[in-house]
Amino acid sequence: MRVLNAVKRYPLIFAACVTSVIGSSFWFQRSFSETVLVHAMAPQFFSTKINVANLQRSTDFYTKVMGLTYIGRVNIRPGSEEVLLSPNGKALNQLLILYFERDRKEPLIHGTLFNNMVFVYTDLSEFIQRFKAAGYTLTSGSGEARPSPVTFAKSVKIATAKDPDGLNLELIQFNE
């Protein structure tokens, strides 16, 4: 209880950050005003962090084009900062973190380890129109419905694209 009160009284700089690991439980801040203890019996997906060459360009792309919500900006150390994004500004266990190093000399290189990020939309056709109107193009697929490979959907629409740094994006709509 003493730890919980201390964490509530002195919240962390950014939301949803693990503050202390205690056995198989950990503290995290679900919002800027609420801290909870989670018993981590099963692992929970927390975030994906990607390196970006231009923080403002990538922030604009992921918020204005892809539809994510800006949560905040964190200065990691001089010359390094992160922008935190989530699907709706509340789902802090699904963060996309854009990481930027101002003094990076070498270009960003995409290797073979990380394949792509998948975004699910309720209306992929509407999203594709907005995506193209923003000046971006699809790299494959047109968003046409086809039989679904998963049992929870009758059909699926799929298209692929790239973000401003060339990272592969898979765009999906599941139809019941």
**The tokens of 93 are what?**
């266990």
Give the pLDDT confidence score for residue 10 in this predicted structure: 31
Q: How many domains is the chain built from?
A: 3
Q: Is residue 76 part of a domain?
A: yes
Same-domain check for residues 171 and 121: yes
Same domain, 25 and 51: no
Question: Do both 80 and 96 map to the same domain?
Answer: yes
What gap in Å lies between CA 71 and CA 87, rounded to an integer?
10
C-alpha angle 22/28/33, rounded to 5°?
140
Q: How far apart are CA 72 and CA 76, in angstroms?
A: 13
Q: Which residues span the domain enclosing 26?
A: 2-39
- Which residues is 84 bridged to in the sheet? 72, 97
For residues 79 and 123, state if they share a domain: no
Q: Is residue 111 part of a domain?
A: no
> What pLDDT does residue 41 have?
60
In SS3 terms, 81-144 reads as: EEEEEECCCCCCCCEEEEEEECCCCCCCCCCCCCCCEEEECCCHHHHHHHHHHCCCCEEECCCC
Identify whether residues 138 and 158 lie together within a single domain: yes
What φ, ψ does residue 76 adopt, rounded to 5°?
-80, -50
Q: What string of pLDDT tens digits covers the 176 residues of the chain?
A: 333 333 333 333 223 333 233 333 344 444 444 444 555 566 667 788 999 999 999 999 999 999 999 999 999 889 899 999 999 887 777 899 999 998 888 888 877 667 889 999 999 999 999 999 999 999 988 778 787 777 788 888 999 999 999 999 999 998 88
Residues 29 and 57 in one domain: no
Domain contains 110: no
Q: What is the pLDDT of residue 147?
A: 79
Residue 107 lies in a domain: no
Domain annotation covers residue 162: yes
In this prediction, residue 47 carries a pLDDT of: 85
57 and 28 co-located in one domain: no
| 168 and 121 in a common domain | yes
Q: Residue 107: what pLDDT?
A: 82
**How far is residue 67's CA from residue 167's CA, in Å, rounded to a whole number?**
17
CATH number at residue 95: 3.10.180.10
Question: Does 52 lie in the same domain as 15?
Answer: no
Residues 167 and 147 in one domain: yes
Report pTM.
0.70
